[in-house]
Amino acid sequence: MSEENKTLNFIEEIIENDLNAGKYDSVLTRFPPEPNGYLHIGHAKSICLNFGLALKYGGKTNLRFDDTNPVKEDVEYVDSIKEDIKWLGFEWVAEYYASDYFEQLYIWAQDLIRKGLAYVDDRNQEEIRTSRGTVTQPGVNSPYRDRSVDENLDLFARMRAGEFNDGEKVLRAKIDMAHPNMMMRDPIMYRIIHANHHRTGDKWCIYPMYDYAHGQSDSCEHITHSICTLEFDIHRPLYDWFIEKLEIFPSHQYEFARLNLTYTVMSKRKLLELVKNGIVSGWDDPRMPTICGLRRRGYTSESIRNFAEKVGVAKRQNTIELSLLENCVREDLNRRAERRFAVLDPLKIVIVNYPESKTEVMNAINNPENPDAGTREITFGRELYIEKSDFMEVPPKKYFRLSPGAEVRLKYAYIIKCEEVVKNGKGEITELRCTYDPETKSGSNSSKQVKGTVHWVNAREALPVEVRLYDRLFTESHMDDIPEDKSYTDYLNPESLTVVTAFAETSLKDVKESVQFERTGYFYPDYDSTPDKLIFNRTVTLKDSWTKQNKQ
Ligand code: ATP
Ligand code: MG
């Protein structure tokens, strides 16, 4: 293996081998979502993989909606899926629907009947299931298995024509009821569903099963590498069987491990339940692992693409740490986000030796990681807010922030000293009376040094801002391994959302992008925000507090 090859993932190796062997002229992949829900971070992984491979090898990617189940599907989902893929930064060359192929699939099913490789079965799904046998026992042939070709063609046509009720008949492939792979024991190809389809309306009342639609759709489009998740590996012999018997374009299926994340549920059924039961505010609730939820929370598409790259392509099931995703967005926003001052949990400070009516304008650096971002002005005055957590009445050793008699630097301003703690009747601290040292203005030549620096906001001008502090939706790291008598809803984190009113510097009014509230985290303006009421979502804290907590 060459040095370069070592860094290829196994699918890249397959593609390079295929291209070198001249098996295909160019690579064509597809992303095949079922339009029955919104895309989540697992889909993002699959999108990055399919589109990324094509881009890497000068190929193309189709978007194909796997719309073979009319009951659960909706145009709302189709639209959101397209929006999310575009937002992630990818372009498909063609948009298809499995339903585009219904006529072709029907003709091919007739071909299989003519070849003696498919038959109409009158038994219901339950009877079919119980006669399939087990892994250790062969199945039993259906009494309808040896119908003549003509009878099968006639019955299949009448199934299509709507002569039968739901479940009355199915079309099955005729393979081998004793096959060691249960998938090959005469799998169902078509079932009868009298339902309106979001694209084909009432034209069809028979619908192909996944196994009879997916590979054939791949073949119709001349997909070279059909990539799906691991649980489909047992379907692969069937995928190949249909293609071989129909003698159509030989697409091939490859499987990789689906993405699982700690503290997260990913199944669309569960996500739909969270939405329907009002546990979250919608598919785009910033706590959801959906792409629209992550976007609303302030994740950038770059950070998600970078995450997908870091996760890599595994052949075995694994669960990725949510903190890896969080680190990706931290890294990206550190470069990108401007800094602002906002105090989330305010404590009033009065600087008693600072003139009552004076204000000063201080220069603050917008982004130390990006000199082009320039500076902004913030005003300083006699009354300020600092974070409650930046003061301790009885500090432990090595506490370098404010405490009675101690000094701290107010960033971009002066060093102050806490002279007096003012309390109300209940003994709660209401305000700190401090003095400032006029010689210590930031940028001056003062030699005075203190260890702690804190952020602050001018109380007289501070903007009240609603801040939504999001945390993990679940308390359990491995949500796939919870005990059987428990439900995932037993593990909801009661503190996944805390809403506070913060005070921010006035320039926050104009912020339309991700921003770092200094020393606190990255925040993103919510679409509920108005000029009169600013609302910011916390994307992520500056440091990973969970890892710390878990280590304690
Ligand atoms: P769910 O089980 O959540 O309903 P699904 O697999 O049924 O998901 P589809 O719409 O059929 O959802 O998925 C479209 C594509 O995305 C498929 O190729 C599927 O393999 C892939 N995909 C879905 N979930 C993940 C995941 N967690 N990790 C990687 N790929 C995924
Ligand atoms: Mg699916």
Q: Where are the beta strands (DSSP E) in 438-479?
A: 453-454, 457-458, 463-470
CATH at 539: 1.10.1160.10
Distance 33 CA to ligand 1 centre (A): 7
Confidence of residue 550 (pLDDT cuts 50, 70, 90): very low
- Whole-number Å distance between alpha carbons of 28 and 362: 57
- Whole-number Å distance between alpha carbons of 131 and 122: 13
Residue range 14-32: mean pLDDT, rounded? 96
Residues 113 and 251 in one domain: yes
**Residue 268 designated active-site:** yes
Domain that holds residue 237: 3-256
Residue range 368-383: mean pLDDT, rounded? 97
Which positions ≥6 away from 403 have C-beta within 8 Å?
A: 391, 392, 393, 394, 395, 418
Distance 518 CA to ligand 2 centre (A): 42
Residues 70 and 195 in one domain: yes
What share of the chain has pLDDT > 90, as a percent? 94
- pLDDT at residue number 238: 98
Residues 361 and 474 in one domain: no
How many CA within 13 A on the CB side of residue 14? 15
Give the domain-ending residue among 256, 283, 305. 256
From 30, 64, 268, 305, active-site residue: 268
Probe residue for ligand 1, chosen from 30, 38, 45, 46 as the CB with the greatest number of ligand atoms within 8 Å: 46
Residues 240 and 192 in one domain: yes
Give the domain-ending residue among 218, 238, 256. 256
Report the nearest atom of ligand 1 relative to the CA of 47.
16
Residue range 213-234: mean pLDDT, rounded? 97
Residues 89 and 238 in one domain: yes
Instruction: Please indicate, yes or no, if residue 443 is contained in any of the structural domains.
Output: yes
Distance 441 CA to ligand 1 centre (A): 57
Kindly report the average pLDDT of the chain as a whole number: 95
Residues 227 and 331 in one domain: no
Instruction: Please indicate, yes or no, if residue 525 is contained in any of the structural domains.
Output: yes
Q: How many domains does one find in the chain? A: 3
Could you tell me the pTM of the whole model? 0.94
Residues 178 and 93 in one domain: yes
Residues 11 and 154 in one domain: yes
Instruction: Please indicate, yes or no, if residue 460 is contained in any of the structural domains.
Output: no
Per-residue pLDDT tens digits for 250-295:
999 999 999 999 999 999 999 999 999 999 999 999 999 999 999 9
Instruction: Please indicate, yes or no, if residue 333 is contained in any of the structural domains.
Output: yes
CATH at 371: 2.40.240.10
State the CB neighbour count (10 A cutoff) for residue 106: 17
Angle between helices 75-88 and 41-56 (to 10 degrees): 50
- pLDDT at residue number 149: 98
Give the domain-ending residue among 199, 234, 256. 256
From 258, 336, 409, 472, active-site residue: 258
- Whole-number Å distance between alpha carbons of 382 and 396: 28
Probe residue for ligand 1, chosen from 223, 229, 251 as the CB with the greatest number of ligand atoms within 8 Å: 229
Instruction: Please indicate, yes or no, if residue 267 is contained in any of the structural domains.
Output: yes
Residue range 237-241: mean pLDDT, rounded? 98
What share of the chain has pLDDT > 70, as a percent? 97
Residues 21 and 110 in one domain: yes
Per-residue pLDDT tens digits for 152-177:
999 999 999 999 999 999 999 999 99
Residues 274 and 229 in one domain: no
Per-residue pLDDT tens digits for 89-136:
999 999 999 999 999 999 999 999 999 999 999 999 899 999 999 999
Instruction: Please indicate, yes or no, if residue 7 is contained in any of the structural domains.
Output: yes
Instruction: Please indicate, yes or no, if residue 410 is contained in any of the structural domains.
Output: yes
Residues 187 and 135 in one domain: yes
Residues 37 and 129 in one domain: yes
